[in-house]
Structure 1
Amino acid sequence: MPLNGLKFGLSLFSTTVLAVGMGIVGLTSASLAQSTPVNPLQDFQRLDNPDPLSGSNSGKTMLDIIHQSRLGGFNIDYEAVGNQQRQNIQDAAAQFREKQRLLLETPQPITPTSTEPTTNPINIQP
């Protein structure tokens, strides 16, 4: 019985030492990772990429493009675009039907299944 208690105490002690050691290593690596000066937004804070909401751009911003599209400043004939898309779909469907018709009309080669024995005799040697 005293031997079992000793084994239990030793395993408890080794588990505790292992847990404390892992905690120390984890805290040390976490503190090292936090001590490095990293600015994750540095790519977005360039001088050649100004804020589109500030109005300091002389060029077109995304907000200008959206505003112009809502006002109809692009002079797009939506009816003509819709007609062109319908025509493209109809042409593609016609091409598909034509290919389908050609495949259905061409006779497929039929491979004869022969029940006759082969003409070449098979020689089996012991």
Structure 2
Amino acid sequence: MIRPPRPPPAKGGSGRKAGGQAGHKGHQRRWLTEADLTGIQTHWPASCPHCARPLPAVAVVGETELRQQVWQLPPLQAEVIEHRYPAVCCPDCQQIRRAARPPEVPPGAFGPQVSSLVALLNGRYRLSKRETQALLA
């Protein structure tokens, strides 16, 4: 199917190219101080790419080192707590008894945070039940 050409824009363009203009103020994420970093890794070149000679791990005085701060989330690990209810025999009436489930322990297998996350993924982010299950598996 051939589409008709687009109509020209209603108002004229500004005459500038799209994107950031020369001399505009840039916007970057602020650099963290060394005290705020989780760790620092220094990567030294092993050998010269021109002549293949091994290079010493000594920085050149007067040259600034390149820096790159990489933000990463730690792996998500679920907290799984097993609640046990041992059987105890009453010494007087000889009845077997177990403790009642405390009110702070949910009746099912998932706590309130997991239930809230599932509701958020299904409702706000419109993931299907199958997609939500695959994400949390």
Normalising by structure 1, we get a TM-score of 0.18
The structure carrying a bigger helix percent of its residues is 1
Larger Cα-atom Rg: 1
